[in-house]
Structure 1
Amino acid sequence: MANQGITRRRLLQVSASGIVTTTVLGGGLLAPGTAQAKPYNSPFTWISPRGTIEVMDDYPYWVARERGYFGDLGVETAMEPGPSDGTAVVKFLSVGQADIGFPSPGVLSFAANAGMDLVSVFGSGCLDLFNIAFRKGQGVKDLKDLEGKTILLGSAAWQSICDPMFAAVGVNPRLITYVEAGWPTWTTALASGQGDACLAWEGLRADLGAKGLDFDYWLGMRGSPLPSNSLVVRRADLDDPERLDFLKKYLKGWAMGSEFADRNPRAAADIVFKALPTTKANYGPRAGTESLMQIHRTFKGNMASRKGWGEHEIPAWDNFFAILKAIGQSSIDIDAARYVTNDFIEEANDFDKAKVHADADGYALPEDLAAIDMADVEANFYKNVLN
């Protein structure tokens, strides 16, 4: 694995019962029911909700790590791909096998329903990053036109993403037929004529286009009022002064990495490519840059109305949790104020922006990235977008 931030490799597993076990290569397997928190001097581990880190999505981390924005935290931070089961991220957090995760709001609601005492501390996903993709010429601007239609998913678990998104824009989710078309083949299944549409997301949109899958899109960041993935920790860690101090420095690194990417997305893409060479091979310079920019715009939102990188829009989270209860996806009323906090945002954004801008402006781009026509990228950013 081309991940310079991982000092040890682990095989992460989630059993059918939801019990987390961990194999440390060279060590032993924790028996089900005996999961233990990592030793405090272990790396502070971020865990992916998608089963891979070979994507552009996590650029704030890679930028912060490469540019030294984590300060004296250094190599004590690490990233793990985790299992592809989307709920694994909160399960690992809850038993101490990871320290910070990136679940969707729906998965955080799953944790709340399961009694896991977790809290979102950095609202990375200001806007809804999920999209609906259609074969060319067959898309709709109003998702109510999808009632009675078939939506292809890579995993049946993705219905928990689609249902609240549909409900939020006035669509009855019970009138949607979902078909599990498999990962990673659900998009090619749509292209081959199966189903009426499929779930997609920003970042993936650029990747699919580079692979010749030319779809039309309804964009969540333009049409959905919902938030998306955020950085989540155990509430108990906020009561540990040493752990809390570490977390504050860590979140500042994410904010600085976001500011750098906003100033120079091609430089941020190059930093990701250096850390993850396979990612560069998979995307290529232009699609990789476009993918990063698509994700970044959902992370950024309208900064004129935000207090800084990572601020949660609490009313949007309240609305999201209310929708989940209304459609039966949550069995409890979830108070956003308990599971979402902006207490760390002011300090995370208290950094020297002029220095970050100078870092970004002075970054020496390699020839392939320097050759990208950014005016053309901007002109085609919303190509094939219906709403």
Structure 2
Amino acid sequence: MDRFSLHGLTRRTFLQVSAAGVVTATVLGGVRDAAAAPYSKFTWISPRGTLEVLDDYGYWIGKKMGYFDDLGVDEELQPGPSDGTATVKFVDVGQADMGFPSPGIFAFALENGMKLKSAYHWGALDTFSLAFRKGEGTNDLKTLEGKTILLGSAAWQSIVDPMLAVHGVDITKIKYVEAGWPTWGTALAAGQGDAALAWEGLRAEWIGSGLDFEYWLGVQRSPLFANTYVVRAEDLEDPDKKAFLIKYLRAWSMGLEFATHNPMAAVDAVFQQFPSLASNIGPDLGAMSILQQSNVVRGDMSKRKGWGDHDMAAWQIFFDEIYKLKQVSNPIKAEDVCTNELIEAANDFDHEKVKADAAAYELPAELAAVDIDEVRSHLFDQAVS
């Protein structure tokens, strides 16, 4: 079997990403005693072809507040090619050190022999949704049998298949069309399919670009969950690299915690980093996007041991489901490929200081004017009734 093929996937094939096809990285910060650091540099790679989104708000506000300053190594965020599998391939071959795959893409990596582990579960609830043209939506996913779902990348089929299967859909009766990044939403609006994969945060950004759909919302209706942060398993066996990963993920946790207390400050940090995004979606949609995503990232924190905690029982349900779907050829034990060994330390920070930082943040007038509670009350207005 080809190393980058997915067992059982016959209706679509995955794009191939050459190791020479690295996109230009956005380098942040200077080199600080790199010779003494466990990594020559540290690269986090997105599954998207862009960083100009609200999704990574925990990083940008953490960066602005100085939470990443003491890592002792040059670190970067990289957008990655729009092929959804690049985020695991690049980590596997050492071109990146941490990836941000969906659970389905993580399973693709495991099926293809990549020695990766999920070290920090970013999205406790299911971020994924299905978009429909107004008046054509449904909450009965079995009605999609015989219809066409549009994807930005062929790799995303591994996201949609289990999402449908847990609701009793016969996935052999679904047709997928790769409509391209970033045009798959426009293709849906133009009538080129019956539904399209979407996710929280993107809903708000699509409104900003004139794409106003209705949605079956996984965050309300799915037992699954969202993307995770994966690393090479061998890095967790190296004491120095493990210590670095804890510091890095602690900074992420502080950023996510900060945004819980002051979501508009996190919007401001992202807007300062990407002025074109600010002009495209504006303060109200920025607020809507970050609230949608914060809802996914937090989940029920009373049942979690902190930011990044894996619910092993939920992960086992997911792995059992994709084994039944033949997305993987052998059963996967969640505790073998997901770990909470970094979570306690990654959440060991001064929570009161972060809360105080958030309270003291001075917002620009246009963001301070947003009524965040009013925006929150409309969080699910686009859901199919």
TM-score, normalised via structure 2 length:
0.89
Structure 1 unmatched runs, 5+: 1-14, 26-38
Does structure 2 conserve the Cα–Cα contact (< 8 Å) formed by 1:118 and 1:339?
yes
Structure-2 separation of matches of 1:162 and 1:41 = 35
Q: Which amino acid aligns with 1:299?
A: V
Give CA-to-partner distance per residue, 1:332-372, whole Å, 9 cap, x none. Answer: 21111111011111111111111111111111000110111
Q: Which amino acid aligns with 2:180?
A: G
Does structure 2 conserve the Cα–Cα contact (< 8 Å) formed by 1:150 and 1:197?
yes
Structure-2 separation of matches of 1:190 and 1:43 = 40
Match of 2:155 among 157, 166, 172: 157
TM-fit CA distance, 1:71:
4.7
Q: Specify the alignment match of 2:111 in structure 1.
A: 113
Does structure 1 conserve the Cα–Cα contact (< 8 Å) formed by 2:17 and 2:83?
no
TM-fit CA distance, 1:174:
1.2
Q: Specify the alignment match of 1:357 in structure 2.
A: 355
Structure 2 unmatched runs, 5+: 1-13, 25-36
Does structure 2 conserve the Cα–Cα contact (< 8 Å) formed by 1:71 and 1:249?
no
Structure-1 separation of matches of 2:368 and 2:73 = 30
Q: Specify the alignment match of 2:209 in structure 1.
A: 211
TM-fit CA distance, 1:75:
6.2
Runs of 4+ in 1 over 3 A off after TM superposition: 15-19, 22-25
Q: Specify the alignment match of 1:20 in structure 2.
A: 19
Does structure 1 conserve the Cα–Cα contact (< 8 Å) formed by 2:257 and 2:354?
yes
Q: Which amino acid aligns with 1:54?
A: E
TM-fit CA distance, 1:280:
1.8
Q: Specify the alignment match of 2:95 in structure 1.
A: 97
TM-fit CA distance, 1:232:
0.7
Does structure 2 conserve the Cα–Cα contact (< 8 Å) formed by 1:159 and 1:178?
yes
Q: Specify the alignment match of 1:35 in structure 2.
A: none
Match of 1:379 among 370, 377, 380: 377
TM-fit CA distance, 1:235:
1.0
Structure-2 separation of matches of 1:150 and 1:86 = 20
Does structure 2 conserve the Cα–Cα contact (< 8 Å) formed by 1:120 and 1:340?
yes
TM-fit CA distance, 1:16:
7.1
Q: Secondary structure at the match of 1:72?
A: coil
Does structure 1 conserve the Cα–Cα contact (< 8 Å) formed by 2:253 and 2:347?
yes
Structure-1 separation of matches of 2:40 and 2:295 = 33
Structure-2 separation of matches of 1:196 and 1:239 = 47
Q: Specify the alignment match of 1:64 in structure 2.
A: 62
Q: Specify the alignment match of 2:276 in structure 1.
A: 278
Does structure 2 conserve the Cα–Cα contact (< 8 Å) formed by 1:147 and 1:175?
yes
Match of 2:125 among 119, 124, 127: 127
* 2:48 paired with 1:44: no
Identity of aligned residues (%): 55
Q: Which amino acid aligns with 2:169?
A: V
Alignment RMSD: 2.0
Q: Which amino acid aligns with 2:55?
A: D
Q: Secondary structure at the match of 1:178?
A: strand
Q: Specify the alignment match of 1:348 in structure 2.
A: 346
Q: Which amino acid aligns with 1:125?
A: G
Match of 1:170 among 156, 168, 171: 168
Structure-2 separation of matches of 1:17 and 1:107 = 14
Q: Which amino acid aligns with 2:20?
A: T
Residue correspondences, number:
360
TM-fit CA distance, 1:179:
2.4
Does structure 2 conserve the Cα–Cα contact (< 8 Å) formed by 1:131 and 1:220?
yes
Structure-2 separation of matches of 1:336 and 1:41 = 28
Q: Specify the alignment match of 2:303 in structure 1.
A: 305
Does structure 1 conserve the Cα–Cα contact (< 8 Å) formed by 2:287 and 2:372?
no
* 2:264 paired with 1:228: no
Does structure 1 conserve the Cα–Cα contact (< 8 Å) formed by 2:125 and 2:225?
yes
Distance 1:231 1:24, change over 3 A: closer
Q: Specify the alignment match of 2:250 in structure 1.
A: 252
Distance 1:178 1:368, change over 3 A: same
Structure-1 separation of matches of 2:39 and 2:329 = 38
Does structure 2 conserve the Cα–Cα contact (< 8 Å) formed by 1:65 and 1:74?
no
Distance 1:75 1:66, change over 3 A: farther
TM-fit CA distance, 1:103:
0.9
TM-score, normalised via structure 1 length:
0.88
Structure-1 separation of matches of 2:280 and 2:131 = 21
TM-fit CA distance, 1:269:
0.7
Q: Which amino acid aligns with 2:247?
A: K
Give CA-to-partner distance per residue, 1:242-298, whole Å, 9 cap, x none. Answer: 211111111111111110011111001101112222322332222122112211111
Does structure 2 conserve the Cα–Cα contact (< 8 Å) formed by 1:46 and 1:99?
yes
Structure-2 separation of matches of 1:375 and 1:63 = 21
Q: Which amino acid aligns with 2:380?
A: Y
Q: Secondary structure at the match of 1:115?
A: coil
Does structure 1 conserve the Cα–Cα contact (< 8 Å) formed by 2:42 and 2:73?
no
Give CA-to-partner distance per residue, 1:123-156, whole Å, 9 cap, x none. Answer: 0011111101111121112212222222222232
Structure 1 residues 252-261 or 374-383, which shifts more? 374-383
